[in-house]
Chain A
């Protein structure tokens, strides 16, 4: 794409969208950030893909409407994640008020990963399948990771999602979650320990340098 070749920075695109109301600039921001944001929300909603995408769309709409108030004190990505998390909290509160069941997702993301992952279904490295491609092993690890995340407490899960999936710094994540930094780090430490135990089989698994698509 022509505009992608120039690869303008987020700051530049935000300014164009802010002051010139340049829709194309905002569209470029959406294209750039949709993947991480949707991935983050998919995990927050326990794999409810439809809801996650609706929330991501709402977050982008709020971002566009709130661009004038964006002061660039944090990066655009951080601001977007903050908005998305608030959208998620609003949605969860509304759903709980209505008394209907929360998210209808798969506990893993097998339905969004390649077909051979569904065949495997996760659960550790495939020692009995030496010819399995790196892609399948990576996908299997992703599935196991998602399952391992489900074993964490809500607070531990939120800490991991914000710091390691949304890519926020500890300070930013603590601010978004409204926790003291020490609390966040404590949750992270415990979460890490639990994930290590849950995924210990993968630590010693052989792993190819490259894989074929």
Chain B
């Protein structure tokens, strides 16, 4: 196969550009190196998660604030969720319940039904007398 040479003409050794061309011409091919890097990246992540996950068991006497901080960090890291499926499910359910309760129309609770109103407004009389609200029986 004909290929254009990185040094198309005789190497000009007066110019160090030749060195760069040579360097480029003999750079290593990607022989799976980048895959290995990405794999190492995933492995490192998993190890860090593992360390974090076992920290709870290794230090059962964590103080309350530290436990809370640990929990927040863990929950903020979606990659860690797989390690605590029941915990995540529980927290998720609690959030859902809280959201459901919050979404309920509170006005309805205060809305009176005819039977439950303890007092009624007496209609104004047609002769112009003053109207005062009175409690019904």
Residue positions of A touching B, CB distance < 8 A: 23, 26-27, 30-31, 34-36, 38-39, 42, 53, 56-57, 60-61, 64, 109, 112-113, 134, 138-139, 141-142, 145, 160, 163-165, 167, 188, 192, 195-196, 199-200, 202-213
Query: What chain B residues lie within 8 Å of A112 (beta carbons)?
Result: 26, 28
- Report if A210-B2 is in contact (Cβ < 8 Å); known contacts: A34-B34, A165-B20, A167-B20: yes
User: Does B33 belong to the interface (CB within 8 Å)?
Assistant: yes
- CB neighbours (8 Å) of A204 from chain B are 10
A205 to B28, CA, bound (A): 26
List the B residue with the shortest CB-CB distance to A113. B26
Distance of A64 Cα from B6 Cα, bound (Å): 32
| Top 3 A-B residue pairs of the complex, sorted by shortest distance between their CB atoms | A35-B27, A207-B10, A30-B34
| A34 to B27 Cα, complex, angstroms | 9
What residues on B are CB-neighbors of A192 within 8 Å?
Answer: 16
Chain A CB within 8 A of B136 CB: no
Are the C-beta atoms of B20 and A35 separated by less than 8 Å? Answer: no
B interface residue numbers (CB < 8 A to A): 1-14, 16-17, 19-20, 22-30, 33-34, 36-38, 40-41, 44
With A134-B5, A210-B2: A164-B40 Cβ-Cβ less than 8 Å:
no
Query: Is the pair A30, B26 in contact by a Cβ cutoff of 8 Å?
Result: no
Q: Is the CB of A53 within 8 A of B2?
A: no
Mind listing 10 A-B residue pairs with CB under 8 Å? A38-B33, A53-B33, A60-B41, A138-B6, A141-B7, A160-B19, A165-B20, A202-B13, A203-B13, A208-B5
Q: Say yes or no: A209 contacts B11, CB within 8 Å.
A: no
Contact of A207 among B7, B20, B28 (CB under 8 A): B7
Cβ-defined contact, A164 with B27, below 8 A? no
The CA of A211 and the CA of B3, in the complex, are separated in Å by 6
Of A23, A38, A141, the residue contacting B28 (CB under 8 A) is A38
Please judge, given known A-B contacts A34-B30, A138-B25, whether A207 and B16 are in contact too, CB under 8 Å: no
Partner of A34, one of B11, B33, B40: B33
On whether A142 and B26 interact (CB within 8 A), knowing A57-B37, A61-B37, the answer reads yes
A36 in contact with B10 (CB, 8 Å): no
Task: Chain B residues near A200: list those with CB within 8 A.
Answer: 13
Residue of A with least CB distance to B24: A36
Which A residue's beta carbon lies closest to that of B35? A27
From known contacts A34-B30, A38-B33, A61-B44, infer whether A210 and B6 are also in contact, taking CB-CB under 8 Å.
no
- Report chain A residues within 8 Å CB of B28: 34-35, 38-39, 42, 112
